[in-house]
């Protein structure tokens, strides 16, 4: 039987993580894209070996949930057959990339993503598990708010540039030099002491005064886009997923209708070639759907760390949230579903829910020990959103 990690800080296909509903295996689509055949294979795996639930993570990866240990070896064999895993866990762990889903055939994006993945697969650099890269070189930057440490972006003058996260400006790079320069910046991060004990992020390193040589001047990034919402564009349909989770049947439904599926870090999948918004269980097609105003982590019963069920509560509160406000419900202070601040945050603990206004799960609560019944009795008054 293949060895299975008992607990993982960052699950992968090679090292699944135990959760309340079994093992969780994370799959990193190459270039942020799945072919239809790959997506159907993942749906099949979720049905054969898992509990049919698939997460789309904030790093634009997919997670098959509810696996048993005996399923790990056949799962890996199928993922290898479809080109969805790396040679070993170390290489896989550093193939940590976000790719703008709004690319078109022949532009720089997919070429750069392929080159970067190849470069990262040559050897293990020893980067921290959370350290990642972004390929965000459309006319507008769409990944600026999302987690990445080394960014290949479009500059304001239309060229390519490299930017260390945390630096407002970057360095212009030629197409052929973008990936080697990105790796050099990652190596500088390590050499200059950015990582310790398997942890460390670029923005914090820059914030502590570290300065990558020749990387801070010469190029300003293109403007950042407004946050994407579900809808159609010329290349296909951006499809929302309630709480970033979908059933295997929903993944198969999309795979069978689209030319390919591009993963995003926004709880949305870009379905290539669709000219109508799809309608199916768990799909959020309407840009004004109240479910887009709430985030909720896995919670009970599927997470072992949680103190409460989260998603049915979030769904019940969603219609009460104003269009521009965001509600985050977290089963514990880790805040997996929404690490940043939200207009309203509810954090479960042994005494009930803490209520935090304009903050994150780690900020001081305005109210403590709220019960579910109290929250649901008059949500607008209690949450201060009346």
Residue placing its CB nearer to ligand SF4 in the complex, 15 or 338? 338
Q: Kindly state whether residue 245 participates in binding ligand SF4, applying the rule CB under 6 A.
A: no
**Measured CA angle at 42 (ends 310, 234), to 5 deg:** 85
For 246, the token pair is: 């979908």
Per CB under 6 A, the segment of 70-78, 165-173, 229-237, 297-305 that binds ligand SF4 is 297-305
Q: How many C-beta atoms lie closer than 10 Å to residue 2's C-beta?
A: 14
Q: Kindly state whether residue 335 participates in binding ligand SF4, applying the rule CB under 6 A.
A: yes
Q: Kindly state whether residue 346 participates in binding ligand SF4, applying the rule CB under 6 A.
A: no
Q: How far is the CB of 338 from ligand SF4 (least distance, A)?
A: 9
Q: Judging by DSSP bridges, how do beta strands 62-67 and 22-27 pair with one another?
A: antiparallel
Applying CB under 6 A, which of residues 12, 109, 306, 345 lies at the interface with ligand SF4?
306
Q: How is 104-130 classified by DSSP, letter by letter?
A: -TTSHHHHHHHHHHHHHTSS-----TT
The secondary structure element, H or E, covering residue 263 is strand 260-263
Task: Give how far the C-alpha of residue 373 lies from the chain's centroid of Cα atoms, to the nearest Å.
Answer: 32
Residue placing its CB nearer to ligand SF4 in the complex, 171 or 307? 307
Q: Kindly state whether residue 336 participates in binding ligand SF4, applying the rule CB under 6 A.
A: yes
Per CB under 6 A, the segment of 27-35, 128-136, 326-334, 362-370 that binds ligand SF4 is 326-334
Q: Kindly state whether residue 294 participates in binding ligand SF4, applying the rule CB under 6 A.
A: no
Residues forming a β-bridge with 345: 328, 356
The crossing angle, in degrees rounded to 10, of helices 72-81 and 36-48 is 170
Q: Kindly state whether residue 329 participates in binding ligand SF4, applying the rule CB under 6 A.
A: no
Q: Kindly state whether residue 347 participates in binding ligand SF4, applying the rule CB under 6 A.
A: no
Q: Kindly state whether residue 63 participates in binding ligand SF4, applying the rule CB under 6 A.
A: no
Q: How far is the CB of 297 from ligand SF4 (least distance, A)?
A: 3
For ligand SF4, how many residues bind (rule: CB under 6 A)? 12
**Rounded Cα–Cα distance for residues 328 and 215 (Å):** 36
Task: Give me the residue label for tokens 């709220």.
Answer: 370
Residue placing its CB nearer to ligand SF4 in the complex, 243 or 253? 243
Nearest to 149 by CA among 111, 100, 187, 108: 187
Q: Kindly state whether residue 10 participates in binding ligand SF4, applying the rule CB under 6 A.
A: no
Task: Give me the residue label for tokens 């020893």.
Answer: 126
Q: Kindly state whether residue 352 participates in binding ligand SF4, applying the rule CB under 6 A.
A: no
Applying CB under 6 A, which of residues 150, 303, 318, 375 lies at the interface with ligand SF4?
303
Q: Kindly state whether residue 297 participates in binding ligand SF4, applying the rule CB under 6 A.
A: yes
Q: How is 337-360 classified by DSSP, letter by letter?
A: T--S-EEEEEEEETTEEEEEEEE-
- The residues of the shown chain that bind ligand SF4, judged by CB under 6 A, are 297-299, 303, 305-306, 330-332, 334-336
């Amino acid at each position: 039987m293949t060895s299975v990690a008992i607990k993982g800080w960052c699950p992968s296909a090679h090292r699944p993580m135990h959760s309340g509903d079994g093992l969780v295996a994370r799959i990193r689509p190459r270039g942020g894209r799945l072919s239809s055949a790959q997506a159907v294979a993942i749906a099949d795996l979720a049905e054969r070996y898992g509990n049919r639930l698939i997460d789309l993570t904030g790093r634009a990866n997919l997670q098959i949930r509810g696996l048993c240990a005996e399923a790990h070896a056949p799962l890996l064999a199928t993922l290898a057959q479809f080109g969805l895993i790396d040679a070993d866990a170390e290489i896989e762990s550093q193939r940590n990339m976000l790719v703008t889903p709004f690319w078109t055939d022949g532009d720089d994006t997919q070429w750069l993503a392929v080159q970067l993945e190849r470069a990262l697969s040559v050897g293990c650099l020893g980067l921290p598990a959370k350290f990642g890269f972004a390929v965000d070189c459309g006319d507008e930057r769409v990944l600026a708010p999302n987690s990445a440490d080394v960014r290949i972006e479009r500059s304001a003058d239309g060229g390519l540039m490299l930017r260390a996260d945390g630096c407002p400006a970057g360095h212009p790079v030629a197409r052929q030099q973008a990936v080697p320069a990105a790796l050099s910046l990652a190596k500088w991060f390590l050499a200059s002491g950015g990582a310790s004990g398997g942890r460390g992020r670029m923005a914090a390193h820059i914030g502590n005064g570290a300065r990558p040589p020749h990387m801070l001047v010469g190029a300003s990034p293109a403007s950042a886009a407004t946050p994407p919402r579900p809808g159609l564009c010329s290349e296909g349909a951006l499809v929302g997923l309630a709480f970033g989770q979908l059933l295997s049947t929903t993944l198969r439904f999309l795979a069978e209708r689209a030319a390919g599926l591009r993963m995003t870090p926004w709880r949305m999948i870009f379905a290539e070639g669709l000219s109508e918004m799809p309608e199916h269980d768990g799909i959020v097609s309407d840009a004004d759907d109240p479910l887009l105003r709430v985030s909720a982590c896995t919670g009970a019963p599927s997470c072992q760390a949680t103190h409460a069920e989260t998603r049915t509560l979030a769904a019940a509160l969603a219609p009460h949230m104003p269009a521009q406000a965001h509600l985050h419900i977290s089963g514990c202070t880790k805040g997996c579903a929404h690490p940043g601040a939200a207009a309203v945050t509810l954090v479960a603990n042994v005494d009930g829910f803490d209520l935090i206004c304009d903050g994150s799960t780690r900020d001081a609560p305005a109210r403590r020990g709220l019960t579910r019944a109290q929250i649901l009795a008059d949500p607008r008054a209690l949450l201060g959103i009346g």
